[in-house]
Every structure is written in structure tokens, then in C-alpha cells.
Structure 1
């Protein structure tokens, strides 16, 4: 009698042993894990830059709000300062600018950098150049070349409006130079240099008033001090001291 399972056409051909082994290996084998070489490197972190006009560069194609320039707290020729809580400090700055500009310059840089030894490292070279300039040229002509970078550093740190930008915004000229951030910053540095050369004492005083209003002296200890006050003497109803 013939086997009905083998002769039936509806059952189809039985699977062979090799096919069953292939199925088992395919089920048991884990999924392929991509190697480190195949993994795509993470995208580099985007950075935001600030050109000379105070406007931030695009961050991944997103345009942010423009950052406007800050104004100086006092003008260049306002040597006596303003009538506010810093009035006495402004008078001190004016006196130092007229009598001891080396001390004022060292104090400005010390407040700006807030690192130990900054005052000595800037006051001493200024004093040497002051003496040499006075002996050779009859005036303080050499120290002005040394001190003008402090004005550029103050303007950049506090995002202050420079002299060139102020002139351009008032008259509306030099449009091609204004559009180029690098050229604008070069013109601002040239204006900082010219301000120190032609109005050196006034420039130092203006910078001194600015940093004293914005940065506390690094020698001050601003940590809160806890003062313990002993309790007062207490008396009971019988007038006995406790």
C-alpha cells in the first residue's frame, strides 16, 4: 500500500535537512552590529560669533535678536564725572589722571583683568615710558603708544560704542566700511589709538570712570560676613538675673 502523505500533491515537497539547519542558524544568529568605523561622527558643536557691529552670527541658520551697543557712562571730556553715587570716585579719577596717570592706568587694567600683579606689570612700564618721553620729547608722548590697548579691551568687554561707529551713525557715511566687520574693528582700534594720542588724560579718566562703575576692585572681599551677637540679659519676675 502506497504512502498517502508522500503521494499527495497538496502537501508539496518536504523540507530537506539542510534547509532546516539554515533556518535554525538564521534564527539563532544575532543582528549585525555596526562597527565604529561605520558609525557617523557627531556633528561639530556650533559656535556663535559676535562681529564688530555687535550683531551675533547665525546659529544653525537661525537669526537671533541683534545685540545693540552700550553707551559709555560719561563722555570723553566730562572729566569731573557725574553727580551720582560715584561722584567721589570720579573726582579721584580726575586727580589721578592729572597728577599720576601711571597709577590710574595701572588701576584700570587691574580692575579689567582682576589678576594678581597686573597693577605693577602695567604701572611700572608706563612710568618708565613717561620719564623717557618727558626727558626726550618734553612731554608724555611714549606712554600713549603703550596704554591705548586698554581702551580697546574695555570697549570689547562691555560692548561699548566706539568713536568710529558713533561718527558713522551720526553722519551716515562710509557705508562700505561699515558693512565689513573686520575693517570696522580696524577703524575702531585706530580711533582708540588716536584718542589716547591726542586726548590721553581724558581717555584715561573716561576709562577709569567706566571700569569703576562696572567692575568692583579685585582687592575687595565681597563675601558676606556673619556677625554673632550675644543675647541680652534676661530677668525673671522676681528680678533675678538669669
Structure 2
């Protein structure tokens, strides 16, 4: 009895091994279909998505760069002295007031001086912002951005929400009131005039 050849055994094992399934890359339209509708998703996007070869979508670029803090100086100064307030404002908008600004600020204050772990919370909410608006994780990953440039990251996230019509400085209730005011104004503008009768 001859011993089976090694190459024959290898061929049999290759044939019986399950082959990994090929996953087709998503096109931009498929990504858009997966986004849930809601007040956070009503923000506009004027930039085209970043697309690699084979129609693989990375996402939209940010409306401002990481180091463009000068574009909104009021927030830059506030964040330089009170980063916890900016973080709390961002959290309140992204969580749709499930976590309020004062509570978010308090968590950031506790984690900042005692544990130096504020970058964990910062990167978590940055990742949430990326998912909501399908943004590119650039120029660095969320963790690196918040670990090495926490103030610039907070300012960029604040500007991104503001540029999309959700000003974190207003708070969630202020944003809702602003939206309702716009809808009321649009209804008033679109109401046709009452029937008028001409008399001689």
C-alpha cells in the first residue's frame, strides 16, 4: 500500500475548506439608503463623498479642517478655557438631550484632571458624529484626534454641527424651537389667500 502523496491531501483540504464570501463594496446610494431619517440627518452636505476604486465609499469630507479653529473664534476661545462646556453642548445635540449639557460637561470635568481619560468620551462622540453624517475619519483616527488634539477636535465637531444647521450653543431645546419656528413660517408663507368676491 502506497502512502498518499502530500500534494493530493493538500488539494483535498483546499477543496473542502470554505471559501470566504466576496462582499460587494457599497455605492454612495446604498450608503444613503442605510441612513435613518431624523432631525440630525436633515443637515445639508455640499461636498461630494470620498470614493475609492470600485465605488467603495469612505464618506463625506468635513466642512472644516481639524485646525480651522479661527473660522469660529468665539467657540475656539470658549473651548480653550472651558472644553467641558463645548463637549457638553456637542453631547446634548448628538444624544438628542438624552444626556444634557451640564451632565456631559460634568463627566468631562471628572475624567479630565483625575484620570486624563477625557479622550475616551471625546473619541466616542466623534465616532458617533462620523456615523450620523457619514464623514471620513480624517486627518487622524478618532482616538488620536482626541488624544493629541482634544481642543481642536471639539472645535471641529462643534463647527460641523453648526454648519449643518444644528448650533450646539442653542442646546437641543433651542434647536427644536428654531426648527418649529421655521416650519411655522413656511406654513404661513404657503397658505393661499382666502376666496375673495368682487362686487360692483
Q: Smaller-chain TM-score range?
A: 0.5 to 0.7
Q: Does 1:152 align with 2:132?
A: no
Q: Give the TM-score taking structure 2 as reference length.
A: 0.56
The structure in which a higher percent of residues are helix is 2
Q: Does 1:118 align with 2:85?
A: no
Cα distance in 2 between the residues matched to 1:157 and 1:199: 22
Matches within 5 A, 1:133-172: 133=115, 141-163=116-138
Q: Give the TM-score taking structure 1 as reference length.
A: 0.47
Q: Does 1:76 align with 2:66?
A: yes
Cα distance in 2 between the residues matched to 1:145 and 1:66: 29
User: Unpaired segments of 5 or more residues in structure 2?
Assistant: 1-24, 34-54, 189-200
Cα distance in 1 between the residues matched to 2:58 and 2:117: 35
Matches within 5 A, 1:1-242: 56=30, 69-81=59-71, 90-133=72-115, 141-163=116-138, 191-216=141-166, 217=170, 218-220=172-174, 221-222=177-178, 223-224=180-181
Q: CA 1:151/1:116 → structure 2, altered by over 3 Å: closer, same or farther?
A: closer
Q: CA 1:199/1:158 → structure 2, altered by over 3 Å: closer, same or farther?
A: same
- Asked if 2 retains the 8 angstrom alpha-carbon contact of 1:129 and 1:142, the reply is yes
Cα distance in 2 between the residues matched to 1:194 and 1:116: 27
Larger-gyration structure (1/2): 1
Cα distance in 2 between the residues matched to 1:160 and 1:112: 14
Cα deviation, residue 101, structure 1: 0.4
Count of aligned pairs between the two proteins: 132
- Asked if 1 retains the 8 angstrom alpha-carbon contact of 2:27 and 2:56, the reply is no
User: Unpaired segments of 5 or more residues in structure 1?
Assistant: 1-50, 60-64, 82-89, 134-140, 167-187, 228-242
Cα deviation, residue 158, structure 1: 0.5
